[in-house]
Amino acid sequence: MEKFIYFFESLSIWIGRAFGWCILILTLSVTYEVFVRYVLNAPTVWAFDMMVQMYGGLFLMAGAYALAQDAHVRGDVLYRLFPVKAQAWIDLILYIFFFFPGMLALVWFGYEIASDSWRYKEVSWNSPARIQIYFFKSLIPLAGGLLILQGISESMRCILCIRNGTWMKRHEDVRETEEDLIKQQEEEQRRKKALGKDD
């Protein structure tokens, strides 16, 4: 079970990192568009649509990554006060009754949207460039499928926690600067206590 969990967690992290490059493409395209629009007075017809697709792709494909990193927003005012096994039960119930039905709907209706888009070779109506968007719409059911795989992994993590009484360690990736600062402060406090005991 642990191998399965770590495999899909690694897959979600790899895909999230790959689509993270959309941020660089977005930054460069916005910079380019601002320059040609306001300095050269020659705006492009394609930049807006490309930026929308890059942002949309990043948003869709980073969902499984965020779930693998436990980075989704959680209303944990009371949740964090519960024992670990109770947290695992709550998570498991929420995955079964809310998460999986929602993700199955995303795959089902996303597939319908993508297949319709491919059938009539849909193009964007936002600009005169008429950029093709059926490739982009294919990401909708794909993102839902990846979220389902990661959701299965998270459900297995809950089952292991219910059995063992501890949460399984996650693959570490990028962390918030605040987390690093908190860890540094905790290490400094430990060192000070250790020095105080030695004296």
Whether residue 199 has pLDDT greater than 60 = no
Max mean pLDDT range (26-35, 78-87, 94-103): 94-103
Comparing CA positions, the residue from 6, 11, 14 lying closest to residue 160 is 6
Look at the chain and report how many structural domains it folds into.
1
Range of the domain at 27: 2-198
166-177 confidence digits (pLDDT tens): 888 887 766 666
**For residues 16 and 74, what is the distance between their CA atoms, to the nearest angstrom?**
20
pLDDT at 146: 96
Q: How confident is the model at residue 197 (pLDDT cuts 50, 70, 90)?
A: low
H/E run at residue 156: helix 139-164
pLDDT at 174: 62
9-60 confidence digits (pLDDT tens): 889 999 988 998 889 989 998 999 999 999 999 988 888 888 888 889 998 9
At residue 90, φ and ψ (nearest 5 deg) are -60, -50
pLDDT at 154: 95
pLDDT at 151: 95
Whether residue 189 has pLDDT greater than 90 = no
pLDDT at 169: 85
The tokens of 11 are what?
Answer: 């897959």
Give the SS3 label for residue 132: strand
Give the C-alpha distances (Å, rounded to integers) separating 171 from 69, 81, 129, 175, 187.
8, 24, 42, 11, 21
100-152 confidence digits (pLDDT tens): 999 999 999 999 999 999 999 888 877 777 888 888 899 999 999 999 999 99
